[in-house]
Amino acid sequence: MPGAGVGDLVGRERELFLLDGRLRAALGGAGQVVSVSGEPGIGKTRLAGHVRDAATAAGMRCFWGRASEQDGAPAYWAFRQIVRRAVDASVPDRLGAAAADLAHVVPDLIALDAGRRVDRFAVCAAVGDLLLAVAEETGALVVVDDLQWADAGSVEMLEHLVDRLVEARLMLLVTYRDSEAGARLHLAHALSGIARHPAVTPIRLTGLSRAGVAAQLTGLLGESPDDVLVESINRRTRGNPFFVRELGLLLVQHPAADDRLPDAVRAAVGVRLAALPDDAHHLVRVAALFGGDVDATMLAEVVDEPLPAVLDGLDAATRAGVLTSSAGFVHDLVAEVARAELSTAERLDVHARIAARLAARGDAWQRAEEIAHHWLSSLPVGDPVEAVRWAERAAARAAEQLAWEQAAAMFARAVHAAGRAEPAERARLLRLRARACLRAYDVSAAHDAVRAAAAIARELADPVALAEAVLSFGDFADPAGRDERQALCEEALAALSDRDPLLRARLLAQLASHLDPVESRGRVEGATDEALALAEQVGDAHALASALHARQVARSGPEGLAERLRLADRMSELGTTTGDDERVLWGHLWRFDALLQLGKIDAAEVEVLRMARLVERLELPLARWHLGRAGAAIAFARGRFVEVRRFAEDMLGRAATARHRGGVHLARLLYALVATQTGKPPPTEALGADTAWQSMAGPGAILPLWHLAVGNVEEARRLYAGFPPADTLPPFVAVPTLQMKVELAAALDDRAGAQDAYRHLSPWADLFVCGGAGALHFTGSIHTWLGVAARASGRLDDAVRHLRAGIEANERAGSPPCVARSRLELARALARRGRPGDAEEAAASAQLAAAEAERLDMAPLLRWSRELQAAYGGAAPGRLTTRERQIAELVAQGLTNRQIAATVHIAERTAETHVQRCLTKLGLTNRTQLAAWVAESTYRA
């Protein structure tokens, strides 16, 4: 927190008025979030300091946390400062069990129980609970300063807090450099989500006006500057207040100073530093390497000077405006210039001395990140063994705090520092980095680490090290890079032979996950069988979990549905027995896919809710991606297509951040799938072909469907010519891809293609269309698509039978878009069959489809339904049959469709169809008109 008052703010009247209103609203119980962005020196922290002073004057409690640009900052550093100020010595007694969760943020304040099972959601929730409780009585302001440097854990904690502020007496003020935030993908993704929150007010600070510059210079110089000086400084600084101050002071003393920024500003800071006494100047240069506020005692030890002399030097720097009263630098740029004045040798030596003294302290473990940073920054002068040792400790500590992203980054630095270590040691560190990267969902970095570890194992001719390198992938599977991972597994298995059944079981399971599911179907089955048998033989939970993963993918076709349900139960049971929530999550994911393929959408949605609770606890980025995928499939089935696009956007952002090619392409496929239903174009890249996914029939099937949806029939026909044969489809996408083939074959008059698809789908008529492993969307009962295929093949009675069954199945499942599509296809089949009453029923069914398509914003379905209505529903009103007359009279009595069905002993759907036929035959549009017609016809009779 800034230690000095901010004084008067020049040229920020509008922002101050806005912030004052937001502060009052928060104090009144309407939680507020304000994001203040702008370039360095623009005045973000000064503005936040003004808000802090106003909040304090209003009796609110204030908490300030600043992210650090130093790589050695501990996990959750910004929130560690905030939480530390929000609790007191009695906090464990007051918070009870929540204190154990807060310990992951402030382990220096509350003892961390390393043996306790934890999850990141609970940690974030505990911080939120604490701040909301503190705010309840007096109101509170929480400032997160310099968010552009925040670790991923702090950013996630911020997102949690934002979501909970709706009715809190709390204002959250966030500052960040927008020029740097965009370069950090996880932060850019979070800021994008936060910006959509209704309680968020964004403020972007820009340079002061010419009048503002003149006013600032007047306050700085104690007199009004001449116009030439104002114009010169305004032109050079573009109104940046920090630059105005530094350049103003420089130009007053040296009018011919360099005209370039930021060189001129650096020169201005250098002039101020050079004016310090020599001892104070040296202290400031060394202090700039500490990061954050300066610990005078530690500084005295590092420079080997008496503490009183050091305190005198710091006082001189404070008087000169270099340091604040709390011994922090007045601005990051001042610290940056001071650091740059040290020679390379001096800088490395100071880092080594800081590291050695920190490591000798009693709280060294709690400062592992800081110690690691200084040892690593001291290389090559410092001790590389100590650097690696502390980097590994810092990574372990980050992992202990569930800060996987920070753990992965620290392992990367450890690997670099271990350049001259023994090869086996480097390989071990690389394996640890790979695992941390996967937990942090950085797929590309994990691949690189595994490759490097495997290369070292080959050099050492160590089959166990090679196996362990390959197994660092865990159970992660992705079509992108599959061939490389398969080759690594085969190489490791060949080198290992039969000497280690445990490693062999895990390698076989991983091999099965990477084998081509079509070309190597037999090998996949054999590998999973052997992996399961070996895992059960050795009784190892890790091996069993890997084998279950592989088996689930191997049995992802419709024929394996029953077994997948059993596998889901086994994985959930294994997770519960071993206390591993991630395994329990996988059990829910597998059960979700199976239930969706059974058409049990309600039950599948319950699994999503259960998954959500686990994902919040685990806070693993990849788990959250899978939760989004499941949520998208449910929204697709229900017809909530706007929601599906939001899921796709979130999935794409997370996968892009992780450099996960498979995840990126699945998100793009989801965009394209939604487009086929709504007719609204997806992002351009969602329609592009990609060789890694062509084998999965994704874009090759979806792209012609998109063209068909928007009326580009000839382009759809051209693309359809390259549709993959049925026997080349991986089992987990076989059903949805065959459904797409039916749709295209019927629209493009491909009788043979329709017959082929019918033959492959007919054994699974009672199932539903979705993927068998990683379901992404849902297009209803297979009966519907068998009906479409039968119609395209000329078997119209079979078509009508299937389509009626499809309507009933989709209604039971609770999928309005699939019911509407089935009604359209029934109308098409009836219209083509042409038996007595078929035309009327076709028109009625098309009208129902059109109404639902309009409600769900399904433009292609609406267009097709209206075209059919125009063709078959435009005849002169016909006579009602006896049954239809009976139904019309019941409508006139005010009965609902359900009541009509009960009265005449028919299904409610059948009653709905009869009512629609009556309306169509009589040229009416609603039940009121039908009741009037009945009254009039009765009167005439």
CA atoms within a 13 Å half-sphere pointing along the CA-CB vector of 35: 24
Residues in Cβ contact with 836 at an 8 Å cutoff, skipping those fewer than 6 apart: none
| 598 part of a folded domain | no
What are the tens digits of pLDDT across the range 604-614? 999 999 999 88
Residue 702 and residue 715 share a domain: yes
Residue 235 and residue 87 share a domain: no
Question: CA-CA distance, 364 to 488, in Å (whole number)?
Answer: 40
Work out the average pLDDT over 609-624. Answer: 83
Residue 188 and residue 41 share a domain: yes
pLDDT at 872 over 80: no
pLDDT band of residue 89 (cuts 50, 70, 90) is very low
Determine which of 16-25, 248-257, 312-321 has the lowest per-residue pLDDT on average: 248-257
Q: Looking at this protein, which amino acid is placed at residue 530? A: E
What are the tens digits of pLDDT across the range 657-708? 666 777 787 888 888 899 999 998 876 655 444 433 333 344 567 888 988 9
Residue 744 confidence (pLDDT) = 95
User: For 141, which DSSP code?
Assistant: E
| Total tally of structural domains belonging to the chain | 5
Work out the average pLDDT over 366-388. Answer: 92
Is 873 strand, coil or helix? Answer: coil
Residue 223 and residue 190 share a domain: no
| 853 part of a folded domain | yes
| 566 part of a folded domain | no
Residue 891 and residue 820 share a domain: no
Residue 257 confidence (pLDDT) = 54
The CATH number assigned to the domain holding 27 equals: 3.40.50.300
Residue 620 confidence (pLDDT) = 74
Residue 90 confidence (pLDDT) = 40
pLDDT at 21 over 80: yes
**Domain span holding position 886:** 876-941
Residue 304: Cβ within 10 Å count:
7
pLDDT band of residue 6 (cuts 50, 70, 90) is very low
Three-class SS string for 706-735?
Answer: HHHHCCCHHHHHHHHCCCCCHHHCCHHHHH
Question: CA-CA distance, 333 to 363, in Å (whole number)?
Answer: 30
Question: CA-CA distance, 77 to 554, in Å (whole number)?
Answer: 44
- Average pLDDT over the chain, rounded to an integer: 86
| 459 part of a folded domain | no
Residue 395 confidence (pLDDT) = 92
Question: CA-CA distance, 271 to 253, in Å (whole number)?
Answer: 10
| 940 part of a folded domain | yes
| 765 part of a folded domain | yes
Residue 815 and residue 689 share a domain: yes
Work out the average pLDDT over 508-515. Answer: 85
Residue 846 and residue 813 share a domain: yes
**Better-scored residue on pLDDT, 185 or 427:** 427
**Better-scored residue on pLDDT, 254 or 808:** 808
**Both tokens assigned to 109:** 């304040």
Residue 141 and residue 109 share a domain: yes
Residue 77: Cβ within 10 Å count:
25
Residue 588 confidence (pLDDT) = 96
Sign of CA dihedral 372, 375, 380, 382: negative
Residue 113 confidence (pLDDT) = 59
What ranges in 461-557 are assigned the alpha helix state H?
463-471, 482-496, 501-514, 521-538, 541-554
Determine which of 281-295, 751-765, 817-831 has the lowest per-residue pLDDT on average: 281-295
What are the tens digits of pLDDT across the range 790-815? 999 999 999 999 999 999 999 999 99
Sign of CA dihedral 326, 329, 330, 331: negative
Boundary-marking domain end, from 176, 204, 232: 204
How far apart, in Å, are the Cα atoms of 223 and each of 9, 216, 217, 231? 17, 10, 8, 16
Residue 98 confidence (pLDDT) = 66
Q: Residue 671 in contact with residue 686, Cβ under 8 Å? A: yes
Residue 460 bridge partners (DSSP): none
Boundary-marking domain end, from 847, 873, 899: 873
* Pairing, β 140-145 against β 170-176: parallel
Residues in Cβ contact with 442 at an 8 Å cutoff, skipping those fewer than 6 apart: 405, 408, 658, 659
pLDDT at 561 over 90: yes
What are the tens digits of pLDDT across the range 623-661? 888 899 999 999 999 999 999 998 888 888 777 766 677
Question: CA-CA distance, 325 to 89, in Å (whole number)?
Answer: 26
Work out the average pLDDT over 759-781. Answer: 95
- E strand map for 373-417: none
The CATH number assigned to the domain holding 742 equals: 1.25.40
H or E element that contains 773: none
The CATH number assigned to the domain holding 318 equals: 1.10.10
Nearest CA among 208, 332, 212, 217 for reference residue 269: 332
Determine which of 196-205, 208-217, 784-793, 904-913 has the lowest per-residue pLDDT on average: 904-913
Residue 825 and residue 939 share a domain: no
Q: Residue 736 in contact with residue 670, Cβ under 8 Å? A: no
Which single residue is written with the structure tokens 């464990």?
92
| 840 part of a folded domain | yes
Residue 842 and residue 770 share a domain: yes
**Better-scored residue on pLDDT, 876 or 566:** 566
Residue 241 and residue 181 share a domain: no
* DSSP notation for 243-255: HHHHHHHHHHH-T
| 3 part of a folded domain | no
Q: Residue 424 in contact with residue 383, Cβ under 8 Å? A: no
Work out the average pLDDT over 194-202. Answer: 86
Determine which of 537-551, 636-650, 744-758, 903-917 has the lowest per-residue pLDDT on average: 903-917
pLDDT at 97 over 70: no
Task: Report how far Cα 532 is from the mean position of its chain's Cα atoms.
Answer: 33
Work out the average pLDDT over 10-38. Answer: 92
Residue 103 and residue 152 share a domain: yes
**Both tokens assigned to 99:** 């204190």
Work out the average pLDDT over 302-329. Answer: 89
pLDDT band of residue 484 (cuts 50, 70, 90) is confident
